Chain A
Amino acid sequence: MEEAGAANFRVSIHFSETTSELELPAAMRSRILCHLLVSQIPDRGLGEALESLFEMWRFYREPVPRMIEPPRPQSLPAKLGATYDRPPFHIAED
């Protein structure tokens, strides 16, 4: 919980299961950890955290486009020419 004057900030997590052995999905665990980490960043680091999070938010809100698979390449018959030795190359003085 963060308090500043009359404003305060709380994050609460509600579990709908009553059993003591909760199975949290990995994504949920990550969200909780993110909240925990952000809440522990000192004020001087919040600007940077916000900037980073904004970039991530902007990155991940774009839907992943469906990539079209290129057609499978077809090989073609080729005619083998005669093997020859690479001719020597001459170096001219510039």
Chain B
Amino acid sequence: MQAGTDDIQIINQVLQGDQQSFEELIERYQHFVFTIALRYVRNREDAEEIAQDVFVKAYRSLADFKGNAKFSTWLYTIAMNTTKTFLRKVKPPVDSLDHVQISETVDKQHSGNGADLTEQRSMQLLINQAIGLLGPDDAIVITLFYKAEQSIEETGLIMGLTPNAVKVRLHRARLRLKEKLELYFANEIKEIIH
């Protein structure tokens, strides 16, 4: 991810009428926004629809971005709100069912592969599959903190939580992730470590 000042330069260009510059912001943040949506809806088509909606909303209200916080924090807040609105309108959360489906997928996947993957790639796969087994809020807090370079305070702003609540949620999410890894991938991790 680029520095915050670069974002502000691009935003100023867009505000001055250079619409094409907005594409740079999309390129920069599309993976993050898409992942946030995907953590909740677990369906690529819906996640892409939400992500597109997020960027359109961000573009429309770009003049309201004051630069007090990072652009990414502002954008992820829009992403969270848009995803929640989508879930309220379209379908109820079906968390537990998804988890069962994902668990089945994981079982199928790791019964047949593993040996030919490199160590790093294996670990990436395991971590990301285990993240998929977590609840959306746990997956989001981990993604925002570890991948999206958001501080505890910024994560709190995005998720509408106090910094202390974020710390607690992050701690619990890590524990749950470790439990999932131990439950589903204990053998693979042992192989990678040794």
Q: Are these two chains actual partners, yes or no? A: no
Q: Could you list which residues of chain A lie within 8 angstroms of chain B, going by C-beta atoms?
A: none
